[in-house]
Structure 1
Amino acid sequence: MKSIPYIEDMIEWRESFSFSVPINIRFSETDMFGHVNNVSPFIYFEEARIEFLKSVGLFDNPNGENGIPVAADLQCDYHHQMFFNDKLELYVKVNHIGNTSIDVHYMGINQDDKLCLTGRGRLVYVNPKTGKPVPLSDQMKENIIHV
């Protein structure tokens, strides 16, 4: 397997995930060659990320009063092809918590226990009116740490 800059030890990294969502690969997510289109994993990342953020209470924020999460960057590494009707378990974890942002890691494992995807991205919490970054509250950080 190729070296991935954001993963130091693959075995340790894989074992550090605890949150996941199931993804069923739909026909509409494949291309003319029959495998998953290269943009689809970003949709899977979003689905898993939103469920993760909901699970730690970061969407319990009426009208974005304390900030909203905005994707600042997103990266995907493809390791094994995926096809229509494959079952993927998409794992999410927070790798680093900053003052106004969190670095999120992703891992996609198929029904045959093959690593198909890895990824990472930074979410920045911003004030929806000004677009300026806002600090994560201590409570938000606590919720993230205890996943």
Structure 2
Amino acid sequence: MNGRSCGQNPVLIFFDEQLTIYVKAESVGNSSADIHYMGKREDCSIGFVSRVTIVQISKKTGKGFPWTEQQKKLLINNEKISI
């Protein structure tokens, strides 16, 4: 594979670029959450998008461990923050 997908040129992001990063929990399950990321450049063009699934695991059993209601609220809160 040559680093290209669907006939598009690969997107390059450099270390000195300023990006605005957006993160949201798209869905929250019993012990997992789908997290979506988007990075926009200063000209508002999209530099990247990503999607991951996180799973909370019990240290004792090694299996999924349910989120508390407080944790679920934190994950689905659409509060905008700046760092």
For normalisation by structure 2, the TM-score amounts to: 0.73
- 2:26 paired residue number: 95
Match of 1:111 among 34, 42, 59: 42
Match of 1:124 in 2: 55
Cα RMSD, aligned residues only: 2.1
* TM-score normalised by L of structure 1: 0.43
**Alignment check: 8 A CA contact 1:102 1:123 kept:** yes
Larger CA Rg, structure 1 vs 2: 2
Superposition pairs of residues 1-147 of structure 1, within 5 angstroms: 80-147=11-78
Tell me, yes or no, if the aligned pair for 1:95 and 1:104 is still in contact at 8 Å: yes
Structure 2 stretches of 5 or more lacking a match? 4-8, 79-83
What is the CA distance between 1:90 and its match in structure 2?
A: 1.5
Q: How high is the sequence identity, in percent, across the aligned residues?
A: 35
Match of 1:3 in 2: none
| Larger RCO, structures 1/2 (Cα 8 Å, 6+ apart) | 1
Q: Runs of 5+ in structure 1 lacking a partner?
A: 1-37, 39-77
